[in-house]
Amino acid sequence: MIADKFYMLRALELAKNGMGDVSPNPLVGCVIVHNDKIIGEGWHQKYGEAHAEVNAVNSVDDGSVLKNSVVYVSLEPCAHTGKTPPCVDLLVAHKVKCVVIANIDVNPLVAGRGISKLKDAGIEIITGVLEKEGDVLNKRFFTSLKKERPFIILKWAQTADGFVAQQNFNSKWISNEYSRQLVHKWRAEEDAILVGFNTAAHDNPQLTVRHWTGRNPTRVVIDERLSLDSALHLFDGSVPTICYNTLKDESKSNLDYVRIKQEPIVEGILYDLYKRGIQSVIIEGGAQTIKKFIDSDFWDEARVFISKQKFGTGIKAPSIDEEIIKTEWIGDDMLNIYSRESKEGI
C-alpha cells in the first residue's frame, strides 16, 4: 500500500503539468511500474491530444513487459471515444497486470465503465488510492459535473486597514509586483476571469496573462444596463469576452453580449458559463461583485493579499466567515487562502 501511494503521488504530480491546457478535460497523470521500477510516465498535455495513459505507454522502451506491469492513473481510464480513442482499450490490448486508480470518473460517459471493461479483461483493479488528493487535483472538473457551475475562486488585494480601493475607486497598486505576477500565473490556470461594472469602468483592466506564459482566460464582465464605454480594453476583441447584461443578446468578433433574464443574475451567469464548458472562473473584483457571490453562496476558494499599505478611508474589503487554511508571504504581502472543500466536499 505504501508503494501504491508513492507511485500514485507521482501520477498526481505529473497531472499538474496539464494545468491551464486540458480543460474541459480533467487533469490526469499516469505511471507504469515493472518490478518496482518506473518504466513509463505521461500526463494529459493538451485538450484534444493524447491522454495520460497513451503518453505513458508510448514512453515505455520495451512494450513486451507491459503485460507484467502495474499502471497507476489518477483518474479512471476513459471508456468512450471523444477527441481520442478510449484509453481503456489500450490497456486491455497490452494486457497490463493491474490498474491502480485514485478517482472514479463522475462523467456519465465514463462513470465506472472503464473499470468494468478492465475487470472483464481479467485485469486487477485497485481504487481509492490518494482519492482525497485526486479530488483536490480535479476540483474544477468535479465541481462542474456535480454542481453544474464552474469552480469559483475569489481574489482580491486589501490594505492592512481593510480597504480594496480609495474612495475614488483607485486601487493601483495595493499588492506588490511579485503578487501581481502570481495573479497572472493563476489567470493562466483558469478558464475564465470575471469583473464587475465598477472595476471595468474605473480600472480599465486587460485581464490577460501578459506577465506570465500561457493562454488568456475568457474575459467576463457584468454590465447589467450596458453602460460601459466600448473603448475599454475588455471590448478590444483581442481575447474572447462575454458581457452579461439584462438587455440584449448579440455576438461580435470575440465578444458575446448575453442577456440574463433571471434573478439573481449571479446564478444565471454561472449556469451559462457551465453550458459553455467553462469549468473555473477567478473573480477579481470589485468589492460589490465579490460580495454578490459570497452572499449568493457561490464560491469555493478565496485568495486574499494583505499589503502593508494603509488608506485610512476608502472602499471596504469583502469579508468571509471561514477559517484560513493556508498563509504564505509573497514578498512583503501576506496571502491568505480560504477553502470550503473541507466543509462540504467537492
Q: What is the pLDDT of residues 158-188, one digit of tens each?
A: 999 999 999 888 777 899 999 999 999 999 9
- Cβ partners under 8 Å of residue 37, min gap 6: none
Which residue from 128, 149, 196, 92 is spatially nearest to 346, judged by alpha carbons? 149
Q: Which three cell numbers stand for residue 206?
A: 486587460
Q: What is the pLDDT of residue 28?
A: 98
Task: Check 13, 41, 49, 53 and give the catalytic one.
Answer: 53
Q: Classify residue 16 by its DSSP letter.
A: G
Q: Does residue 225 carry a pLDDT above 90?
A: yes
Q: Does residue 10 carry a pLDDT above 50?
A: yes
Identify the band that residue 110 occupies on the pLDDT scale cut at 50, 70 and 90: confident
Beta bridge partners of 208: none
| Pair 260, 269: CB distance under 8 Å | yes
Residues carrying CATH 3.40.430.10, the chain: 147-344
pLDDT mean over 106-124: 88
Alpha helices (H) in the chain, listed in sequence order: 2-15, 52-58, 87-93, 113-120, 131-137, 139-147, 177-189, 197-203, 265-275, 287-295, 341-344
Beta bridge partners of 103: 75
Residue 68 identity: N
Q: Does residue 345 carry a pLDDT above 50?
A: no
Beta bridge partners of 316: 163
pTM of the model: 0.93
Class assignment of domain 2-137?
Answer: alpha beta
User: How close are the terminal C-alpha atoms of the chain, in Å?
Assistant: 25
pLDDT tens, position by position, 240-282: 999 999 999 999 999 999 999 988 899 999 999 999 999 999 9
| Pair 193, 218: CB distance under 8 Å | yes
Residues carrying CATH 3.40.140.10, the chain: 2-137
Residue 53 designated active-site: yes
Superfamily name with CATH number, domain 147-344 = Dihydrofolate Reductase, subunit A (3.40.430.10)
